[in-house]
Amino acid sequence: MDNDLRREIIMDNYIDPMNKGLINDDGYLKTRTSSESCIDDLSFMMKIENNIIKDIRFDGEACAISTSATSIMIRSLIGKSVDDAKKILINYKNMIEEKDYDKELLSELVVYDSISKQPNRKNCALLPYKAINSMLGELNNRD
Amino acid sequence: MNRDDFPMLKNNIVFFDNGATTLKPKSVIDSVVDYMSNHTSNIHRGDYDAAIITNKLYDNVRNIVSSFVNCDSREVIYTSGATQSLNMVVFGYMKKHLKAGDEVLLNKAEHASNILPWIVLSKQIGIVIKYVPLDKNYELTLENIKKCVTSKTRVISLAQITNVIGDVRDVYSIGKYCHENNILFNVDGAQSVPHMRVDFKKCNMDFLSFSGHKMCGPTGVGILVGRYELLEEMDPLCYGGGMNSYFEENGDYELKSIPTRFEAGTTPIAEVIGLGEAIKYLMNIGMDNIHNHEMELKKYLLDKVKDIPNVIVYNTSSNSGIFAFNIDGVFAQDASIYLNSFNIYVRAGNHCAKELKDEIKIKNTVRVSMYFYNNFDDVDRLVSALKNSKDIFKVVL
């Protein structure tokens, strides 16, 4: 991907992220995820109905990579079934960790396909993965 | 000053993360290597030549510390760092001597190591933590402390220099006040002892904690200085070899004298020796020279950044080499990554002062923290990078 386009997508999602701001609603799964290695600290909430992700929201303080990755991931996951969301998440994680992954599944999330060149930012890119994966794990525990 | 003594500075870096840790001069490195290469041995348990050399060097560090901060050498306890020292004070002494309802005065600019142990102690035995409000410059004054003191106030615990705002607290006046009012005075010296002259006795301190690695020494070693009469009443947090005189099957035991009873197990011998060398090195430069040099650099930096419109500074008045700022609209970590691209090493975050956000209304900052080996060229390089930070995201993304 062209570097200017990559930067533009990341900046658009950093400056005006999707669904930033939490709401009062007990029908959501909730989690707070902070990075072990830096200062990113975000709270997430996710609503699932009939096995479909209806909404994901977040709030907190994080860098350009964490914030934009969260925004793009939210856009990618809303409306997906839980199983499809899990596929996107695992492929995203594989991409960040330089393993084989299905590019077609990731849409705009591929803007982070070179993040491994900055090892200290891999955790930033993985923060929304960790949060949403943990909430889906909690869903399994409820079942 | 003394830049040639620091191997890491040969890498063309600007090291402005001295509040987190400091670079090591060749003499400190050599002292650690010498121990490991030529006289590795445990302390107090060997009769062979290498052990005798090690014992002498190791024991003498207490004398070096005592002349450095003006205390008795028997009041010097080797620890793993300021964090352990502060925990020893809270859980070894205070837990035994405070009771439910007793009040401890803290403030929200303190490092986690001087708040979290107290929070845990309050949950354990019911002491009450009161936060002294900071003034308009986020600094702590004796006047505000006095307003919070009641008949139940037993302890005032504070950093002599805070690690984000960098204000230098008037420990002489506060110590005098504590002494006159029968209040225990616990001082976190992690950010002050490396940078200025500190006088344990003159300031009526009851406890003083600091770390070796923030003052050119190795990591893994620190100091707790405690007034001897209080140390006699303090319990060790660790029990084992090296700190007992005897123990028997029937449960009888006796601990060694102070300070050895607080140093269970094999202590960080190489690091203690390295710390002694570091203190000698600093004393040779002179603590007043160090402080004055940092203040000159800070003044120079403040003067330069006031013309950069997108740099927000949080501590213009503090009297130390700590400079906390943000680039307007840029998350602190992104700013720190940007500066790294110019080989300028700073720190982004809340710097473990997690309650300070309640006062300065911002959670994360970029922190520049200076030391004597920084120079005007370092400041110029930082200022130049900040001036060109308009297109920061072209660099960091």
At B48-82, the pLDDT tens digits run 999 999 999 999 999 999 999 999 999 999 999 99
Dihedral sign for Cα atoms in the order A128, A131, A134, A140: negative
Check A64 against B331: CB less than 8 A apart.
yes
Which residue among B332, B393, B397 places its CB closest to the CB of A39? B332
Reported as a single tens digit per residue, the pLDDT across B239-274 is: 999 999 999 999 999 999 999 999 999 999 999 999
- Is residue A69 a contact partner of residue A128, using CB atoms and an 8 Å limit? yes
Which residue among A7, A41, A64 places its CB closest to the CB of B334? A64
A121 at the B interface (CB within 8 A)?
yes
Write out chain A residues lying below 8 Å of B332, CB-based.
Answer: 39
B349 at the A interface (CB within 8 A)?
yes
User: Which among A46, A118, A67 has a CA at the least distance from the CA of B364?
Assistant: A67
Check A11 against B337: CB less than 8 A apart.
no
B333, B339, B346, B390, best to mutate vs chain A, most A CBs in 10 Å: B333
Residue B196: per-residue pLDDT = 97
- The domain made up of B26-284 is a member of CATH 3.90.1170.10: no
Phi and psi, residue B286, nearest 5°: 100, 120
What average pLDDT score do residues B109-131 get?
Answer: 97
Check A64 against B348: CB less than 8 A apart.
no
Instruction: Tell me: pLDDT of B36 over 70.
Output: yes
For B358-384, b/e burial (b = at least 16 CB within 10 A) is ebbeebbbbbbbbbbbbbeebbebbbe
**pLDDT band for position B356 (cuts 50, 70, 90):** confident
- Do B26-284 and B3-24+287-389 fall under one CATH topology? no
Q: Which stretches of chain A score pLDDT less than 70? A: 140-143
Residue A143: per-residue pLDDT = 53
A38 at the B interface (CB within 8 A)?
yes
Known catalytic residues of B? 352
CA distance A39 to chain B (A): 6
Residue B95 tokens, joined: 């837990």
Instruction: Tell me: pLDDT of B353 over 90.
Output: no
User: Which among B55, B75, B52 has a CA at the least distance from the CA of B65?
Assistant: B75
Check B331 against A61: CB less than 8 A apart.
yes
A5, A40, A63, A115, best to mutate vs chain B, most B CBs in 10 Å: A63
Check B397 against A38: CB less than 8 A apart.
no
What average pLDDT score do residues B349-356 get?
Answer: 76
Instruction: Tell me: pLDDT of B374 over 80.
Output: yes
Query: Which helix H or strand E contains B49, and what residues bound it?
Result: helix B49-69
Instruction: Tell me: pLDDT of B119 over 80.
Output: yes
CA distances in angstroms from A86 to A97, A105, A111, B250, listed in the order given? 16, 11, 19, 61
Residue A20: per-residue pLDDT = 96
B345 at the A interface (CB within 8 A)?
no
ipTM of the complex: 0.81
Residue A142: per-residue pLDDT = 62
Instruction: Tell me: pLDDT of B355 over 90.
Output: no
Residue B100 tokens, joined: 């439910």
User: Percentage of chain B surpassing pLDDT 70?
Assistant: 100
What average pLDDT score do residues B276-280 get?
Answer: 98
The bridge status of strand B207-211 relative to strand B222-226 is: antiparallel
The single-letter DSSP state of residue B250 is: T
**pLDDT band for position B343 (cuts 50, 70, 90):** very high
B239 at the A interface (CB within 8 A)?
no
Helix (H, G, I), strand (E, B) or coil at A98: coil
- Is residue B325 a contact partner of residue B313, using CB atoms and an 8 Å limit? yes
Check B333 against A38: CB less than 8 A apart.
yes
Which residue among B334, B350, B394 places its CB closest to the CB of A63? B334
Residue B273 tokens, joined: 């020796």
A32 at the B interface (CB within 8 A)?
no
Domains, in order of start, for chain A: 3-142 (3.90.1010.10)
Instruction: Tell me: pLDDT of B173 over 80.
Output: yes
Query: Which helix H or strand E contains B36, and what residues bound it?
Result: helix B26-38
Residue of A nearest to B341 (CA): A118
Please report, in angstroms and rounded to a whole number, the separation of the first and last CA atoms in chain A: 41
CATH number, domain B3-24+287-389, options 1.10.287.3510, 3.90.1150.10, 3.30.390.30, 2.40.50.140: 3.90.1150.10
pTM: predicted TM-score of the whole model, two decimal places: 0.92
Distance CA B205, CA B186 (A): 6
CA distance A107 to chain B (A): 19
Of the two residues B157 and B166, the one the predictor is more confident about is B157
Write out chain B residues lying below 8 Å of A63, CB-based.
Answer: 331, 333-334, 337
Check A39 against B364: CB less than 8 A apart.
yes
Token pair 């708040």 in the structure block, residue:
B115
Residue B333: per-residue pLDDT = 92
Instruction: Tell me: pLDDT of B31 over 60.
Output: yes
Instruction: Tell me: pLDDT of B32 over 60.
Output: yes
The bridge status of strand B207-211 relative to strand B184-188 is: parallel
Residue A34: per-residue pLDDT = 85
- Listed by start position, the domains of chain B span 3-24+287-389, 26-284
Check A61 against B337: CB less than 8 A apart.
no
